[in-house]
Amino acid sequence: MKYTQSTLDKVEKILESSGYVLRYEKGTFQSGYCILEDRKVVVLNKFLPVEGRINTLIDLIPQLEIQPNELPPDSKKIFDEIMGKLQK
């Protein structure tokens, strides 16, 4: 997976398609993100570079309640790629 703005946009679309709101805020979260479970809001540290944002979202996606069959085809492809990397 390439670390470009286009890739970041595709990964962000997975969250949007699943009903999550993605916000970039400054904060002192140690992991680079904060999940507000009841509200389906994901907050990422806005000072992370593109590569850090992509890696953080890839680490985070398996922890979220995402229904792959409800994703658009392009988002499902990226989702399957992310989940496939975790199983290796």
Which phi and psi (to 5°) does residue 87 adopt?
Answer: -85, -10
8 Å CB contact between 57 and 7: no
* Model pLDDT for residues 27-78, shown as the tens digit of each residue: 776 666 767 767 888 888 888 899 999 999 999 999 898 999 999 999 999 9
How far is it, in rounded angstroms, from Cα 61 to Cα 41?
Answer: 12
pTM, two decimal places: 0.85
Judged by DSSP in three states, 65 sits in coil
Domain boundaries, the chain: 5-69
* Model pLDDT for residues 12-26, shown as the tens digit of each residue: 999 999 999 999 988
